[in-house]
Amino acid sequence: MDELVKRELLRQDAVARQLTKNPEYQARVNNAERVILSQIAAEEFMKNLTISDEELKKEYDSRIGAMQRAEYRARHILVDKEEVAKDIIAKLRKGAKFEDLAKKFSKDPGSKNEGGELGWFSPQQMVEPFSAAVEKLKNGEITQTPVQTQFGWHVIQREDSREAAPPAFDAVKEQLKSMLQTQKLHQYIDDLTAKAKVERFATPTPASEASPAAAPAGSPEGNEPAAAKPAAAPAGTSAPATQPKK
């Protein structure tokens, strides 16, 4: 309450001193109003938006059906140089144990002491070169050439694979709802933009930066603003997008 009183007293003081006659201050007031009203409009749209279970189930089938459901269990040895990785592969071919070499050579602190063990993971959880290499292997196989990622060079052993059950509809229903709400809000803003006449104007180039061939100051050519493409949808009006993910 004290904070509200202070704000009101300062507001009255600003009005009494006619501070909004300053163009810079008035622009800030106008922008604050624009932001608040855009948020109110978005909130009102969301409040009146209805998304049926049929829409949610359709989105669930589309997104969950497209997900990769395979999971893999693997070990890896991470080193800094390709030559070191090739040497490790040569040792493995001669019968060395993967776990022992991982503990000795791997630079991955999370799996080094576990013999390179990574546990179960989906392809989406790993960087693409790594997951692609694992998918190509058969259970028990080791990569015959080193695999490079941004972390270094990997020697990988795929231990096992399985089909993972997709998340249940009820488990991701709210995430899907939030996602569809955001999509519909963006579409609503796009529709408003399509119906509106929007113009953008380039900021005039300072005289000191003008080229020798530029029109002299004060001429129509030197002062006419250039029209640009339609403005983008107002910022700050979209709800956070979430995506169901295992």
- Shared domain for 175 and 60, answered yes or no, is yes
User: Domain for residue 1, yes or no?
Assistant: no
- Shared domain for 63 and 174, answered yes or no, is yes
- Shared domain for 79 and 59, answered yes or no, is no
> 3-state class of 5 per DSSP?
helix
Of 106, 139, 163, the domain-final residue: 163
- Shared domain for 41 and 91, answered yes or no, is no
Pull the structure tokens for residue 141.
Answer: 């196989």
Give dist(CA 44, CA 40) in Å, integer.
6
Q: Looking at the predicted structure, is the pLDDT value of residue 223 above 50?
A: no
- Shared domain for 129 and 84, answered yes or no, is yes
| Sheet strands (E) in 49-194 | 70-79, 117-121, 147-149, 152-163
Q: Give the mean pLDDT of the chain.
A: 85
Residue 165: band (very low, low, confident or very high) from pLDDT cuts 50, 70, 90: confident
Position 55: which residue type? E
Q: How many CA atoms lie within 13 A of 204 on its CB side?
A: 13
User: Domain for residue 225, yes or no?
Assistant: no
User: Domain for residue 209, yes or no?
Assistant: no
Contact in structure between 202 and 228 (CB atoms under 8 Å): yes
- Shared domain for 79 and 50, answered yes or no, is no
Give dist(CA 2, CA 14) in Å, integer.
18
Of 163, 188, 216, the domain-final residue: 163
Give dist(CA 80, CA 152) in Å, integer.
5
User: Domain for residue 85, yes or no?
Assistant: yes
Give dist(CA 168, CA 54) in Å, integer.
15
Using one digit for the tens of pLDDT, what is the confidence trace for 27-83? 999 999 999 999 999 999 999 999 999 999 999 888 886 676 889 999 999 999 999
Q: Which domain holds residue 177?
A: 19-67+169-198+231-246
- Shared domain for 35 and 58, answered yes or no, is yes
- Shared domain for 122 and 44, answered yes or no, is no
- Shared domain for 175 and 54, answered yes or no, is yes
Using one digit for the tens of pLDDT, what is the confidence trace for 98-128? 999 999 999 999 999 999 999 999 888 999 9
- Shared domain for 52 and 74, answered yes or no, is no
Q: Looking at the predicted structure, is the pLDDT value of residue 244 above 80?
A: no
Pull the structure tokens for residue 148.
Answer: 């490079």
- Shared domain for 174 and 243, answered yes or no, is yes
Task: List helix spans (H) across 48-138.
Answer: 53-65, 82-93, 98-105, 128-136
- Shared domain for 132 and 189, answered yes or no, is no
**Threshold 0.85, pTM exceeds:** no
User: Domain for residue 7, yes or no?
Assistant: no
User: Domain for residue 207, yes or no?
Assistant: no
CATH of the domain at 74: 3.10.50.40
- Other Cβ atoms closer than 10 A to 189: 19
Of 142, 163, 184, the domain-final residue: 163
Number of domains in the chain: 2
